[in-house]
Each structure stands twice: as C-alpha cells, then as structure tokens.
Amino acid sequence: MDTKTLVFSIGQKMIVVIAAVSLGFVGYLVFPIIDITAQEQLEVFVTHSGAVVKTTGDVLDPVYTIQEVEFDPEKYLRNFDYGKVSQLEDGSTLREFTIIAEDDKIMEVAPGIFYNVWTFNGEVPGPTIRATEGDLVRIHFTNNGSKEHTMHFHGNHPAEMDGIFEIVGAGGGQFTYEFIAGPVGVHPYHCHVMPVEEHIGHGLYGVFIVDPKDGRQQADEMVMMLNGFDTDFDGENNLYAANTIPFYYQHHPIQVTTNELIRVYVVNMVGLDPINNFHLHGTLYKYYPTGTDIVPSEFTDMITFSQGERGILEFEYEYTGRYMFHAHLTEFSEKGWSGIFYAKDSSQPSMEGYAYGS
C-alpha cells in the first residue's frame, strides 16, 4: 500500500467516524427526552406457548397484551343465576341464559401470579346456573375464543345437547343447548373439547343446581367450587382454592349466624390430582352426594371427592366464633384451599377482612 492510498484510507475512516458521531449527536438533539421511566412500566403478555409474562422488557412472541379478570369470591359465593324466566304454553317454565366463552384473559390468581384464564361470562368459575326440576333450560352459547369450546352439562339431556360432538368454532361460533332440568342435585358444567384437561385447567367450568319442585328447607346457601391452577405448566397444580382465589375466605371469613341452617353446594373441579376433600371444624355436616337424595348418606366433618364429584353439605353452628374449613390434604390447604366461617349470633356486628393468624 503506498502512502497516498494509506492517507486516503485513514481519511475515509475519519469521515465515517465523524459522520457516526454527528448522527448520534443529531439523534440526541431530535429525541432528547426519551422517557426511560417508561421502560419500568410492567406489562402483561401471553406468549404463543401459553405462558403469561409480566415484564418491563420486550417479549419476542406476544400473542396479545390482555385485559385482567376481576373476580370477587365474596359475590360468587351466594350468587345464583336463575336466567331470564318466561312461561311456556303448557305452563312450564323456560329459563334462558346467555353464556360467552373467551380464552384471552388473565387473572392475578395469587399475588404476582398472572394466569391465562379461559372464561364463561368473563369469570372462573362461570355463573352458577340454577333451575327447578322440569324447567326447560335454554343456553344461548357463543364462543368468542380463539379455540374451539363447548358446554357439557352433567345431568339428563339428549345426546346432541351433550356438548361433545357438536364442536362450537372459534371466533363467534354459536350453539343453543336446550334440555329439561334434571335430576335434582348439584352438577358441574364444563367445556369438553380435547384436551379436556387443558380446557378445564384454564377455567371453563361452573356449577349447575337443579332444585326440587317443592324446594329445600330455608337456609343460608352458598356455592364452593374447589379448583386449582397449574401456573408453571409442569403438570402439577401450584395453587388450590375454594372459589379460585387461594386463602380468600381465610382473609375474608364467611359470615354466618349461629343456629341457622347453612347449605353449601360443593363441586370438585381440581384436575391433575385424583382426589380432594372438605373438612369442617366445630360441627359436623349432613352430606348428600350429588344432592340427588333427600336422605343424607353421612353425618361427618370429612368427605373425599374424586374429580368431578360433588355434593351438598348442611350444618349449623351452635357456638359463636371462627371455624376453619379446608382440605384435609395438607398440601392443598397450605397452597390455598383453606377458609374460615365466622359464626355470630344475630346481635353481633359483622367482621371485615380478618386475617387468619394476624
């Protein structure tokens, strides 16, 4: 390389360096106030693999940033959806329900744990659908999800209303389920699209109560859906609960009155674990398996459920105070399936937000 070429080459390099520095400086002048604090804003993403990520950084394959589900176990506990009621020509009752499935929402299922929930009417569990034996139940079902979904009710109905073979397509598919409510009892409903474990695991289930025509004895009635979440997708549940939020009723005890009949409709929808159970402190309950008989099968404080098993518990408290109820499986109770009944006599004030152990 001769001297002339060398000088030229150094000159070129200098021009490139000067140009780069100048560009950087001009860039700084043009965009002088890039708000670096915006980088600290946490955002929630669902990735293609189904993972839910909350991060200040970029996610390479986000499907969407999503709306969070607000779920209130207090409201769910004693909320029954009787549908839109009308009389048919033959004098029987028609109850119509509108149910919309979605699969793009997330819920903070425990502090800092965000999970992609799949919902019926925007919640996990879906609404507690209630009818009287012999009523005509009509469900206007729309699937606004990105995957196929159905509604499969336990109970009596024609084969084509079973929610198995009549797959309802994603993005607005519709189906009308219609059947005569029966038998009397407490039943689950859930999506039955394969893999069912995944569709149930993400939250597509709810409770269906069929009341006897003559009703049941007056009681303080409530619903407990025993559920769990595998938040790290390793095939094991990380959280357990009665009504979705771990320890909710431990921090917000369920207020009941002494010497008043309490009736709890319990459904076990925990997947991945073969059994679950319900242990009650301070009193015993009459247990009606599936709620189909008027004679209780047991008088006990401890019942074990397999997957999908359910029943009705009836009991009352003689003495005031705080009584735990929880899974006797300690792993489940220590991961969230634990709560408290606060029994007061009618003259006592109610108690707000008492934290167990505090």
Summarize as ranges the residues that interact with Cu ion (CB under 5 A).
149, 191, 193, 199, 204
3-state helix, strand, coil in the chain (%, to 5): 15, 40, 45
C-beta separation of 239 from 110 below 8 A:
yes
Dihedral in degrees, nearest 10, Cα atoms 322, 328, 332, 334: 50
Please identify, using beta-carbon distances, which residue of 53 and 167 lies nearer to Cu ion. Answer: 167
C-beta separation of 226 from 269 below 8 A:
yes
| Alpha-helix runs per DSSP H in the chain | 3-30, 73-77, 196-201, 248-251, 330-334
Distance CA 307, CA 274 (A): 6
Distance CA 156, CA 178 (A): 11
Provide, rounded to whole angstroms, the least separation between the CB of residue 59 and Cu ion. 25
Please identify, using beta-carbon distances, which residue of 145 and 339 lies nearer to Cu ion. Answer: 145
Provide, rounded to whole angstroms, the least separation between the CB of residue 37 and Cu ion. 40
Please identify, using beta-carbon distances, which residue of 39 and 98 lies nearer to Cu ion. Answer: 98
Please identify, using beta-carbon distances, which residue of 244 and 290 lies nearer to Cu ion. Answer: 244
Distance CA 7, CA 14 (A): 11
Provide, rounded to whole angstroms, the least separation between the CB of residue 202 and Cu ion. 8
Please identify, using beta-carbon distances, which residue of 119 and 333 lies nearer to Cu ion. Answer: 119
Distance CA 201, CA 197 (A): 6
Please identify, using beta-carbon distances, which residue of 170 and 180 lies nearer to Cu ion. Answer: 170
Residue 282 CA from chain centroid, whole number = 29
Provide, rounded to whole angstroms, the least separation between the CB of residue 199 and Cu ion. 3
Provide, rounded to whole angstroms, the least separation between the CB of residue 292 and Cu ion. 27
Residue type at position 64: Y
Provide, rounded to whole angstroms, the least separation between the CB of residue 198 and Cu ion. 8
C-beta separation of 138 from 180 below 8 A:
no
Provide, rounded to whole angstroms, the least separation between the CB of residue 168 and Cu ion. 9
DSSP code of 38? G
Residue 21, φ and ψ in degrees, nearest 5: -60, -45
Please identify, using beta-carbon distances, which residue of 193 and 262 lies nearer to Cu ion. Answer: 193
